[in-house]
């Protein structure tokens, strides 16, 4: 489903004119389509039938309570990576038995909280973590269901900063150590070996690395069962990529071929499959809407300066990520498209949303939408340059609601404390 379309000369989210939202909440703001999120979830979850699956939304991609409610309402579980995310998932009504906990540096307090919540599985990333979890669980008289996150040393073919399955990356336990570490896990008090886990990276558009990874996991599953471990699930992580470029055919990014791979490797294994999609469920369902502050020339370049910046959406400068930028007012057919750098007001050369992008003439006050910003957008925002966290809005058909208001300067500056000796 394509939730953002021009209608009557203006870019709409579902049936709501983005300019109307801008007039009410001001810019910049993030806008999400509930229908697009739900459609992505259903398409994803359904494509794995007849496998027994648990889809644990990787909520790091977008953890607004309203977004979590959309997925929880459809039966999703959540993959959490911190005590904070665990609290958010529980607050959104996600039952503990549908929560997985990933991450290389879980603290004792976080492990204890997840044990208390009775989560489905700890995706353990190292032997020290395993020992600590065992100790805490045993002291509580509890049992932690665990999967070891295995590092298969496979190159996901994605940006270096979001590749996680190579030996040089900090994640998981080397797959060749699986036999030994599972044997150790089986001996530890408070630990129940339940699954195996992997996640090789994000925005993966070539299925080859997934195929090789799933094959390695299927081999490991057979080996561990032969060793006597009762493995009830395989967690295949997330990572499925989405279209970011205008010319790309969304149909080519469907979940079907990815799901086929999972079926090919696990349908006959009598094992449940856990999936942790993040970006796939929310990325194309969101846009960041901004206003043009001014247009300036520098050398032979045109700079469109907007009121959103790298602190609101850091993906372009952090990962050289491409996001389409559309004017909210539909440009007439055949309009001249001159290259422009679309930049924010932050005092850094890396503060840009798009570079050398063919773009129509715009002027101060015009609105623009940075597309495919539903994943890793608002959650990675900050307040650099004392800029306020921007609001988030959810659209549902012809209505919309602010699901996080803009913060205020009082709130932001009020976080600081001046010691007596400076007052």
Taking residues 280 to 299 in sequence order and writing x for each that binds ligand LLP by CB under 6 A, - otherwise, the string is x-------------------
Give yes or no for a cis peptide into 28 (omega within 30° of 0): yes
Separation of alpha carbons 248 and 257, rounded Å: 17
Q: How many other C-beta atoms are found inside a 10 Å radius of the C-beta of residue 168?
A: 8
Interface residue with ligand LLP, options 35, 104, 138, 162 (CB under 6 A): 162
Q: Does 79 bind ligand LLP (CB under 6 A)?
A: yes
Q: Which residues contact 133 (CB under 8 A, 6 or more apart)?
A: 111, 122, 124, 144, 146, 190, 191
347 a catalytic residue: yes
CB of 140 to ligand LLP, least distance (A): 25
Number of amino acids touching ligand LLP (CB under 6 A)? 21
Taking residues 112 to 151 in sequence order and writing x for each that binds ligand LLP by CB under 6 A, - otherwise, the string is ----------------------------------------
CB of 57 to ligand LLP, least distance (A): 9
Q: Which residues contact 152 (CB under 8 A, 6 or more apart)?
A: 165, 175, 198, 200, 212, 213, 216, 217
Piece of the chain touching ligand LLP by CB under 6 A; list 112-120, 197-205, 215-223, 356-364? 197-205
Q: Which listed residue (31, 56, 121, 347) is catalytic?
A: 347
Q: Does 68 bind ligand LLP (CB under 6 A)?
A: no
Interface residue with ligand LLP, options 34, 98, 233, 315 (CB under 6 A): 315
Helices (H), 47-120: 65-73, 83-91, 108-116
Q: Does 278 bind ligand LLP (CB under 6 A)?
A: yes
**SS3 of 416, please?**
coil
Tell me the sheet residues that pair with 369.
289, 326
Place of tokens 């390695």: 216
Q: Does 376 bind ligand LLP (CB under 6 A)?
A: yes
CA angle centred on 78, ends 139 and 394, rounded to 5°: 140
Piece of the chain touching ligand LLP by CB under 6 A; list 53-61, 129-137, 348-356, 406-414? 53-61
Q: What is the DSSP track for 200-223?
A: -BSSB--SHHHHHHHHHHHHHHHH
Cβ closer to ligand LLP: 328 or 370?
370
Backbone angles phi, psi at 223, to 5 degrees: -60, -45
Which pair of tokens denotes residue 54? Answer: 């648990």
Piece of the chain touching ligand LLP by CB under 6 A; list 129-137, 234-242, 326-334, 390-398? 234-242
Cβ closer to ligand LLP: 234 or 240?
240
Which pair of tokens denotes residue 131? Answer: 């020992």
Q: Does 319 bind ligand LLP (CB under 6 A)?
A: yes
Q: Is 276 annotated as a binding residue?
A: yes
Instruction: Report the candidate in 259, 266, 252 with the shortest Cα–Cα distance to residue 215.
Output: 266
Q: Is 182 annotated as a binding residue?
A: no
Tell me the sheet residues that pair with 13.
4, 16
Interface residue with ligand LLP, options 190, 255, 277, 374 (CB under 6 A): 277
Q: Which residues contact 66 (CB under 8 A, 6 or more apart)?
A: 392, 394, 401, 403
CA angle centred on 370, ends 364 and 372, rounded to 5°: 170
Separation of alpha carbons 362 and 343, rounded Å: 13
Q: Does 98 bind ligand LLP (CB under 6 A)?
A: no
Q: Is 277 annotated as a binding residue?
A: yes
Cβ closer to ligand LLP: 81 or 137?
81
Q: Does 366 bind ligand LLP (CB under 6 A)?
A: no
Q: Does 203 bind ligand LLP (CB under 6 A)?
A: yes
Q: Is 414 annotated as a binding residue?
A: no
Q: Is 225 annotated as a binding residue?
A: no
Task: Please state the residue numbers annotated as binding site for substrate.
Answer: 279, 315, 319, 348, 376
Known catalytic residues are: 347
Binding interface with ligand LLP (CB under 6 A): 58, 60-61, 79, 102, 162, 199, 202-203, 237-240, 276-280, 315, 319, 376
Task: Please state the residue numbers annotated as binding site for pyridoxal 5'-phosphate.
Answer: 239, 276-279, 376
């Amino acid at each position: 489903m394509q939730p953002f379309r021009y209608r009557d000369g203006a870019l709409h989210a579902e049936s709501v004119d983005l300019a109307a939202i801008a007039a009410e909440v001001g810019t910049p703001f993030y806008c999400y389509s509930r229908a697009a999120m739900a459609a992505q979830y259903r398409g994803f979850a359904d494509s794995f039938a007849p496998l027994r699956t648990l889809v644990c939304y990787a909520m790091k991609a977008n953890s607004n309570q309203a977004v979590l409610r959309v997925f929880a309402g459809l039966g999703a579980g959540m993959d959490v990576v911190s005590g904070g995310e665990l609290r958010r998932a529980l607050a959104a009504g996600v039952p503990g038995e549908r929560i997985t906990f990933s991450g290389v540096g879980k603290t004792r307090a976080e492990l204890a909280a997840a044990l208390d919540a009775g989560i489905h599985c700890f995706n353990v990333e190292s032997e020290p973590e395993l020992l600590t979890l065992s100790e805490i669980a045993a002291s509580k008289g509890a049992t932690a269901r665990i999967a070891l996150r295995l590092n298969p040393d496979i190159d996901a073919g994605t940006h270096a900063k979001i590749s996680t399955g190579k030996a040089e990356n900090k994640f998981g336990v080397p797959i060749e150590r699986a036999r030994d570490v599972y044997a150790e896990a089986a001996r530890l008090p408070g630990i129940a070996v339940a699954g195996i886990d992997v996640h090789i990276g994000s925005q993966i558009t070539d299925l080859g690395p997934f195929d090789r990874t799933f094959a390695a996991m299927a081999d490991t599953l057979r080996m561990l069962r032969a060793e006597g471990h009762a493995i009830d699930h395989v967690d295949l992580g997330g990572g499925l990529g989405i279209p970011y470029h205008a010319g790309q055919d969304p149909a080519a990014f469907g979940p079907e071929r990815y799901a086929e791979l999972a079926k090919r490797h696990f349908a006959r294994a009598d094992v449940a499959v856990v999936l942790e999609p993040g970006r796939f469920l929310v990325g194309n369902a969101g846009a960041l809407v901004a206003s043009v502050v001014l247009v300036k020339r520098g050398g032979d370049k045109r700079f469109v300066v907007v009121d959103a910046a790298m602190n609101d959406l850091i993906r372009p400068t952090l990962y050289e990520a491409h996001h389409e930028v559309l004017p909210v007012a539909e440009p007439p057919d055949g309009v001249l498209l001159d290259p422009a750098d679309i930049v924010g007001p932050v005092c850094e050369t890396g503060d840009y949303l798009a570079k050398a992008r063919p773009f129509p003439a715009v002027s101060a006050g015009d609105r623009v939408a940075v597309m495919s910003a539903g994943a890793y957008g608002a959650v990675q925002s900050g307040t650099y340059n004392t800029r306020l966290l921007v609001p988030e809005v959810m659209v549902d058909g012809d209505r919309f609601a602010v699901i996080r208001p803009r913060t205020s300067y009082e709130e932001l500056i009020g976080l600081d404390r001046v010691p007596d000796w400076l007052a």
